[in-house]
Amino acid sequence: MIYLIALLLAFIVALLLLQALIHLLRRFHITEQPRADRWHRSPTPKFGGIGIFVATFIAFLGAYFLIRSSAHEFPMTLLLVMILIFVFGFVDDLKPLTPIGKLITQIIVASAAVYFGYTTNFFSPRLGDTFLARFMNSAVSLFWLVAMTNAMNLLDNMDGLAGGISLIVCLFMGYFFWDAGDTVLVLFCASLCGALLGFLFLNFPPAKIFMGDSGSQFLGFTLALLAIARRPQASNVFAILGVPTLLFTLPLADTLFVTITRWLRGESPFKGGKDHTSHRLIAFGLSERQALWILYSIAIVGGITAVVVEALNYTLSLILLPLILIFLLIFTTYLGGVKITDAVDNNLESKIKKVIIRFFVSRSLFDVLVDGLLIAFSLYIAVLLGMPFSSDWQLDFFIQMLPLAFISGYLSFFLMKIYRDLWRHLNVEHIYRYFQAAILAAGFFGVLGVLLGTYPMTLNVGILYGVMLFLGLIVTRFSFRALDTIANRSHNKRAQGILVYVSEDTLPFLVPYLMNQSHGDLQIIGLITDQETRIGKRVYDLQIVGLVSELRELTQKYHAQGIILDEAKVKLPEVRKQLDSITDLQCWVKIVHFELKDYRPYSKLENEDVPSLQKEN
């Protein structure tokens, strides 16, 4: 009940305070003006962080003094560093600091938190209570606090995004503290959740107020600090280091993605821009709210995975994490190909930088990285299903056989020329090659197992390994096609509907061209035929909707805005008659004309143009 009271109190205080701030700031014209590197379209107040901070502290302090006892120690130092980061963020809102100045203030506050003892204990069980362990714990904690503060600051690039992600992370943090019996920190999380709900009520698109740096830095630092203050019940590496990382999956992925892509374009990662994950989802074809729900879902999946990793055993952790990494690699790489900026990199003159870019950004390297995770995941599932022994024995066997899996997998992929394919342009014929690669990998794995004396244990595992590898190749390789389909459907909602009537010779290349090259401007409603027996059939997943003699009726029935036909068809008298019958329907008609022309040097064309101009004069 006290948690619910804290949440409701924070929500009410935040809502009232933010409404008053909006009225006051608009009255005095203290607003954030629309800019080319920002997403909002009208002047909007930006001091929403004040409402989040004040509401959180009022609710927490009020609820704490209702339950205070000797068993509940007041977190003075925790609140002190939170106040400090808020003050620095507020100063930045009043008078923007330089990137270096902002970084220095974050390091100061993070150092204060480390001084007060808020550090991870990741290295202590491994190195003992030594100077090296304490130094490494402090260094990792300092980096974590500064990195997450900046990550949330960068994530504040769209209405409702930073606030919504912070709310999701805070809810999961509250669950972890509740599970550990830490009443005080559960109370603080409840207060922060209430304040964030009040803020989101006014920040969800279209936003009436922004949080500003006073809000984004306060939230990023506070949530990162709570992740360090948490003491995991499990002792494995994923529970200590992986759970906080999973909770911050989206801020981390977005920061890394923006930093790399801007570095490749020769731009500063600290400046504002419309090249974040959220903006690329809009360019992908989603609405602003749809993009938000997609990003919220990713954050929720990361939080649920963190709970599972904390609650269950180390063995299951090795299944979940490769899947998440594969998904993030594919998702961010696909979005990286979405055109979002016209910026041209003029700073790639350094040969060293060019070599680095070619090595790290080439699609082949991306394929190899994804396949490494896929091979490890396939082998692990094969070991779990094919060897009903204890988890410790399974894990030992997995580690022992993993090098053989890498050898067999990569060798078979290379021999079957898997890496020569572009994922966006795959077809059904590639499935057979993936099947051959999986069989070859399973065969190599079995042979190596026999040579090393692990037969017959390797036999069952090898078969399952091949099956999982084949399924994994299908899912990963055709992921771009699936995402393209989703993108096309999103674009088609606002595209012009057209009917297409072409000859048998033109059909095989014209229809795929229209489907792939229209860039969302055209949507093929259906195909038209001159043979009645073909009506209702499908070509390239497009339905043949009717005869050319019914052109007027079809145009009216499907509300077609345009008709495309090739030159061979337009010469037919019946077709010209039908086209003349739809001139009053405000439906445009375009004719496809194919012609091969000889290449002529541009210099010759210029020389030929001079006499013709002189003759005209």
Tell me the per-residue pLDDT of 245-260, one tens digit each, with 9 for 90 and over. Answer: 777 777 877 777 777 7
Q: Is residue 123 scored above 80 in pLDDT?
A: no
Helix, strand and coil in the chain, % to nearest 5: 70, 5, 25
Between 44 and 109, the higher pLDDT residue: 109
pLDDT at 40: 57
Q: Are strands 496-501 and 562-566 parallel, antiparallel or unpaired?
A: parallel
pLDDT at 234: 46
Between 21 and 388, the higher pLDDT residue: 21
What digits encode the pLDDT tens for the residues 98-115? 888 888 999 999 999 999
pLDDT at 528: 87
Which domains, ranges and CATH numbers included, belong to the chain? 2-358 (no CATH), 362-483 (no CATH), 495-592 (3.40.50.720)
| Listed range (7-11, 343-347, 371-375, 501-505) with the worst mean pLDDT | 343-347
Beta bridge partners of 539: 542
pLDDT at 604: 56
The amino acid occupying position 133 is A
Q: Is residue 287 scored above 60 in pLDDT?
A: yes
- Rounded CA-CA distance 394/373 in Å is 18
pLDDT at 122: 72
In terms of DSSP H, where are the helices of 337-456?
A: 351-361, 363-386, 391-415, 429-451
Name the helix (H) or strand (E) containing 249: helix 249-264
Strands (E), 480-609: 496-501, 522-529, 538-539, 542-547, 562-566, 588-592
Q: Is residue 517 scored above 50 in pLDDT?
A: yes
Please, are residues 498 and 524 in contact by the beta-carbon 8 Å criterion? Answer: yes
What digits encode the pLDDT tens for the residues 566-591? 887 888 888 888 888 888 887 888 88
| Cis status, amide bond into 508, omega within 30 of 0 | no
What digits encode the pLDDT tens for the residues 469-482? 999 889 888 877 77
Neighbours of 140 (CB within 10 A): 17
Residue with tokens 């050898």: 407
Residue with tokens 């690669």: 437
Q: Is residue 436 scored above 60 in pLDDT?
A: yes
Please, are residues 46 and 96 in contact by the beta-carbon 8 Å criterion? Answer: no
Q: Are strands 522-529 and 538-539 parallel, antiparallel or unpaired?
A: unpaired
What digits encode the pLDDT tens for the residues 316-353? 566 666 677 777 767 666 666 555 544 444 444 344 44
In the structure, what pLDDT confidence band is assigned to residue 593 with cuts at 50, 70 and 90?
confident
Name the helix (H) or strand (E) containing 73: none
- Rounded CA-CA distance 547/50 in Å is 66
pLDDT at 132: 82
Q: Is residue 220 scored above 70 in pLDDT?
A: yes
pLDDT at 71: 63
| Listed range (34-43, 491-500, 525-534) with the worst mean pLDDT | 34-43
Per residue, the 3-state secondary structure of 531-558, as one string, reads: CHHHCCCEECCEEEEEEHHHHHHHHHHH
Q: Are strands 522-529 and 542-547 parallel, antiparallel or unpaired?
A: parallel
What is the length of the chain? 617
Percent of the chain with pLDDT over 70: 76
> What pTM was estimated for this model as a whole?
0.67
Q: Which tokens sit at 445?
A: 């794995």
In terms of DSSP H, where are the helices of 42-116?
A: 48-67, 76-94, 99-115
Q: Is residue 56 scored above 90 in pLDDT?
A: yes
**Sheet containing strand 496-501, strands side by side:** 538-539, 542-547, 522-529, 496-501, 562-566, 588-592
